Amino acid sequence: MLNLVLFGPPGAGKGTQSEKLIEKYQLIHLSTGDILRSEISNGTSLGLEAKKLMDQGVLVPDEVVIGMISNQLDSNKNARGFIFDGFPRTVAQAEALDRLLNTKASAISGMVALVVDSEELEKRLLLRGKDSGRPDDANPEIIKKRIVEYNSKTAPVANYYREQNKLTTINGVGTIDQIFDSICSVVDAY
Ligand code: AP5
Ligand code: MG
């Protein structure tokens, strides 16, 4: 199985690159942000709770997202592999993911981390906020909060994979196709 963690701050291009990668490598795309937004649009109680936190730009509780990923792994038993996008976002989530994959006799193949400076991130997210309908994109203060949350809680996850020799960092600034080619050369080596 090919299990890729696509990592990076808000607006780094995780979702954009995941769409291309799932096509090329025939993987299942698991984006906790997308799953949470679909819970919100379906008006579930989980969605209602998550919305309050997401609209403020802060993380939802670990147990909520770990439960979602566990369900997705169970319902995609015959997958060739997964792209984890926006998960794991804390070290506790990374440890839980290892345990979940272990019970399926599988493991993370590697993490690709997209490196993009804060100025570029804010520019991309504000631009998307004009028509995305995502409340967390519309307000510069919320975008800043998401980046602060990333730096304090999520950035340490890269070290977790570095210690396992599974981390590759890639320049996330450039054209979408250039960045895709860089990611593919890493994935092809797995
Ligand atoms: P989530 O949905 O994961 O959002 P995010 O990580 O904050 O960032 P984005 O999805 O906005 O960015 P992206 O890296 O996917 O970039 P994209 O390709 O879209 O999370 C939202 C919220 O949900 C969190 O704040 C939290 O509350 C909650 N949550 C989710 N997962 C959680 C977890 N595991 N634990 C706890 N809470 C969780 O690109 C961004 C824009 O840039 C697009 O407009 C795109 O067109 C453009 N773009 C892409 N590539 C380029 C390029 N190369 N050049 C120029 N523009 C580009
Ligand atoms: Mg995304």
Residues 6+ apart with CB under 8 A from 82: 1, 3, 4, 27, 28, 29, 30, 73, 76
122 lies in some domain: yes
Place of tokens 């890269």: 158
Cα of 138 to ligand 1 centre, how many Å?
13
Active site residue 89: yes
Does this model's pTM top 0.95?
yes
**Catalytic residue chosen out of the listed positions 128, 144, 153, 162:** 128
- Give the per-residue pLDDT at 131: 87
Read off the CATH number of the domain in which 20 is found: 3.40.50.300
- Give the per-residue pLDDT at 103: 94
d(CA 143, CA 127): 12
Ligand nearest the Cα atom of residue 32: 1
103 lies in some domain: yes
64 lies in some domain: no
**Catalytic residue chosen out of the listed positions 134, 144, 153, 166:** 134
Sheet with 28-31: strands ordered across: 28-31, 81-85, 2-7, 110-115, 167-171
60 lies in some domain: no
132 lies in some domain: yes
118 lies in some domain: yes
Nearest CA to ligand 1 atom 44: 128
Q: How many domains does the chain have?
A: 1
pLDDT tens digits in sequence order for the chain, 190 residues long: 999 999 999 999 999 999 999 999 999 999 999 999 999 999 999 999 999 999 999 999 999 999 999 999 999 999 999 999 999 999 999 999 999 999 999 999 999 999 999 999 999 999 999 988 889 998 999 999 999 999 999 999 999 999 999 999 999 999 999 999 999 999 999 9
List all residues whose CB is within 6 A of at least one atom of ligand 1: 8, 10-16, 32-33, 36, 53-54, 57-60, 65, 86-87, 89, 93, 124, 128, 136, 146, 174, 176, 179
108 lies in some domain: yes
Which of 101, 80, 48 lies closest to 187, judged by CA? Answer: 80
Distances, alpha carbon 104 to alpha carbons 29, 74, 114, 116, 161, in Å: 18, 9, 28, 34, 20
Place of tokens 């792209």: 83
Long-range contacts of 103-107 (CB under 8 A, 24+ apart): 104/73, 106/1, 106/3, 107/3
Domain assignment of residue 180, given as a range: 2-27+79-189
Active site residue 99: no
Q: Provide the strand spans (E) within 38-109.
A: 81-85
Place of tokens 């942000």: 33
